[in-house]
């Protein structure tokens, strides 16, 4: 597998984890609040939509990682399996809502309200949140292993881009130098996140950084 493909998949998984953590934290806040679901329904629906979109992006990245003839390291396979697990978590929540809506002949919004205020107990939300935190820690371990083990592959890919930049006289030298330095220092930036669990905002910014690597290299390869 191209080393950037696994990084992009990991970036999409991080986006999912950030959205899922926000959903389950919101569940706890709603269950604990006096105002209940009504005050927060728009925010909750927005988070649920983010969760579904993130799940779809994981599916797309996962399909790319399974391209014909593409071999994967054990770390890359585990990252893909982690993506599959996140998709399953998303499907479980969506199916629960759809089933409740059908049974009650109600809208998805009313079904969501019923589930959150009724069948979704705090211990269950806490359990899901803990599972997400475990997945997050595992992903950072895998990312750390991937960027450390694949430095040679990253270096080779960057050397090809640098040579292409020189041969085609495309003035992207500064951009390539910055990207190369970011990849080289990635392991050091990921390591603290193992001992100090990041907030959802930090997860999203880390995700954006990982996805930008793949987007930059794809753009440069097309030029």
Angle between helix axes 37-65 and 3-32 (nearest 10 degrees) is 160
**Cβ neighbourhood burial of 173 (10 Å; 0-12, 13-18, 19+):** exposed
Predicted TM-score of the model (pTM): 0.75
C-alpha 21/C-alpha 82 separation (Å) is: 16
Tokens at 35, concatenated: 């105002």
Write the CA distances from 152 to 2, 32, 49, 106, 216, integer angstroms: 12, 50, 39, 55, 19
Write the CA distances from 168 to 133, 158, 162, integer angstroms: 46, 15, 10
Q: Which residue has the tokens 């020189």?
A: 166
pLDDT of residue 96: 59
Span 124-161, pLDDT tens digits: 667 777 888 889 999 999 988 888 888 788 878 777 77
Per-residue pLDDT of the chain (223 residues; tens, 9 = 90+): 677 888 889 999 999 898 888 877 776 666 665 555 555 556 666 767 777 788 888 888 887 766 645 688 899 889 999 999 988 888 777 665 555 545 554 555 555 555 555 555 556 667 777 888 889 999 999 988 888 888 788 878 777 777 777 666 666 667 777 777 888 788 788 888 888 888 889 999 999 888 888 777 776 655 5
| Helix (H), strand (E), coil (C) string for the chain | CCHHHHHHHHHHHHHHHHHHHHHHHHHHHHHHCCCCHHHHHHHHHHHHHHHHHHHHHHHHHHHHHCCCCCCCCHHHHHHHHHHHHHHHHHHHHHHHHHHHHHHHCCCHHHHHHHHHHHHCCHHHHHHHHHHHHHHHHHHHHHHHHHHHHCHHHHHHHHHHHHHHHHHCCCCCHHHHHHHHHHHHCHHHHHCHHHHCCCCHHHHHHHHHHHHHHHHHHHHHHHC
């Amino acid at each position: 597998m191209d080393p950037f493909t696994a990084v992009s998949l990991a970036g999409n998984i991080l986006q999912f984890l950030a959205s899922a953590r926000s959903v389950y934290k919101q569940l706890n806040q709603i269950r604990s609040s006096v105002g209940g679901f009504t005050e927060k329904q728009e925010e909750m629906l927005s988070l649920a939509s983010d969760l579904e979109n993130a799940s779809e992006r994981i599916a797309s990245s996962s399909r790319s990682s399974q391209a014909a003839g593409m071999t994967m390291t054990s770390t890359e396979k585990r990252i893909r399996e982690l993506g599959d697990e996140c998709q399953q978590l998303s499907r479980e929540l969506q199916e629960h809502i759809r089933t409740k809506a059908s049974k009650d002949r109600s809208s998805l919004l009313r079904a969501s309200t019923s589930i959150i205020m009724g069948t979704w107990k705090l211990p269950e939300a806490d359990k899901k949140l803990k599972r997400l935190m475990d997945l997050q820690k595992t992903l950072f371990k895998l990312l750390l292993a991937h960027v450390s083990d694949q430095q040679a592959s990253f270096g080779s890919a960057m050397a090809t881009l640098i040579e292409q930049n020189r041969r085609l006289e495309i003035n992207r030298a500064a951009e390539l130098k910055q990207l190369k330095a970011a990849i080289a220092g990635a392991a050091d930036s990921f390591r603290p996140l193992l001992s100090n669990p990041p907030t959802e905002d930090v997860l999203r910014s880390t995700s954006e950084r990982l996805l930008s690597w793949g987007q930059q290299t794809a753009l440069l390869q097309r030029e």
